[in-house]
Structure 1
Amino acid sequence: MLFTDSFSAFYEQFKTSLTDGTFAKLTFAKTIGKTELKNIFIRPILEENELKLELKFRFQREELFEIHTINSAFDRLLPFINNPFLSVILFATEFDLTYKLNKKRMVNVIDKPPTFGNANEVLLAFLNKWN
């Protein structure tokens, strides 16, 4: 089962936090059962003066890195919703937003007060350079 529509809306919030300079970090967490893949961490990077995303796949014994455009990262990350991850957390300076699947695989999006007071430094440097 793909969660394209609900994750798409969540991903738009993520993209907004990038453009408005409030993004701190994005984490895929809480797997189903024991899996080799433990987390996916997403952070902005600069590559040839373009803002891109580094996806760090943390396995039990290794870490793998991939670089994607902001739009292509969506297609890469979508298959991991419900297989094996039950939650994705967007940390921004204005709020924390949790995309969560319950046992019946119903989606809940929970807005909480922010954990981080500062946005990602690479993102801020990029925005300051181009604005």
Structure 2
Amino acid sequence: MPYQDVFVQFWNQVEESVEEGSFAKLTMAKTIGKPNLKNIFLRPVYSKNGFKVLLKFRYRSKDTEDREEELTLDEAFEVLKSHLKSHFFSVILFSTKKDVLFKVNRKGAGSITETEPSFSMVIQPKSDIDTDME
């Protein structure tokens, strides 16, 4: 099955984990070649304005500063989707119920595998916006 279709199935599991409150982290890894962009991470951010994710770009070079921004889940989906098969071959969802690995092979087929969870609880940082309002 084309990786784009399988990624949508994978993303449905990400959305379910958010709805259940079990979403702990998401990591894009297994880079293609040796680009300066090393990883992309998503972490949950709970605020008075609802659920968002902290998207972090981590770079190999010490000269390039890591970049962070708060996004909605839909916005994060678009960012991650744009990096599949161009920069990364895999995405791992870490939740308190299971870990889910999405992979793209060199022929462009996607696959999903599930394993036991790596996280037993979710650390829910507050948004900077909330702390400024208190």
Mark yes or no: TM-score above 0.5: yes
- 1:126 aligns to what? none
Deviation per residue, 1:65-105 (Å, 9 max, x gap): 12211112211211101111000000111111000112322
Which amino acid counterpart does residue 29 of structure 2 have in structure 1?
A
Q: Is there any run of 5+ residues in structure 2 with no aligned partner, and where?
A: 127-134
Structure 1 residue 48, shift from structure 2 partner: 4.8
Aligned counterparts of 1:68 and 1:96: Cα–Cα separation in 2: 22
Equivalent of 1:64 in 59, 62, 67: 67
Structure 1 residue 49, shift from structure 2 partner: 2.7
Q: TM-score, normalised by structure 1?
A: 0.84
Structure 1 range deviating more: 71-80 or 42-51: 42-51
Are 1:31 and 1:84, in contact at CA under 8 Å, matched by a contact in 2? yes
Aligned counterparts of 1:13 and 1:42: Cα–Cα separation in 2: 14
Aligned counterparts of 1:6 and 1:96: Cα–Cα separation in 2: 16
Aligned counterparts of 1:7 and 1:52: Cα–Cα separation in 2: 20
SS at match of 2:41: strand
Aligned counterparts of 1:52 and 1:109: Cα–Cα separation in 2: 24
- 1:89 aligns to what? 92
Aligned counterparts of 1:41 and 1:20: Cα–Cα separation in 2: 20
Are 1:37 and 1:57, in contact at CA under 8 Å, matched by a contact in 2? yes
Across the aligned residues of Structure 1 and Structure 2, the Cα RMSD in angstroms comes to 1.8
SS at match of 1:121: coil
- 1:127 aligns to what? none
Are 2:6 and 2:112, in contact at CA under 8 Å, matched by a contact in 1? no
Quick check: 1:100 aligned with 2:103?
yes
Show structure 1 runs of 4+ deviating over 4 A.
none
- 1:22 aligns to what? 22
Q: Is there any run of 5+ residues in structure 1 with no aligned partner, and where?
A: 124-131
Deviation per residue, 1:37-81 (Å, 9 max, x gap): 000000121355321111101112320112211112211211101
Write out aligned runs for 1:1-131 (5 A).
Answer: 3-60=3-60, 61-122=64-125
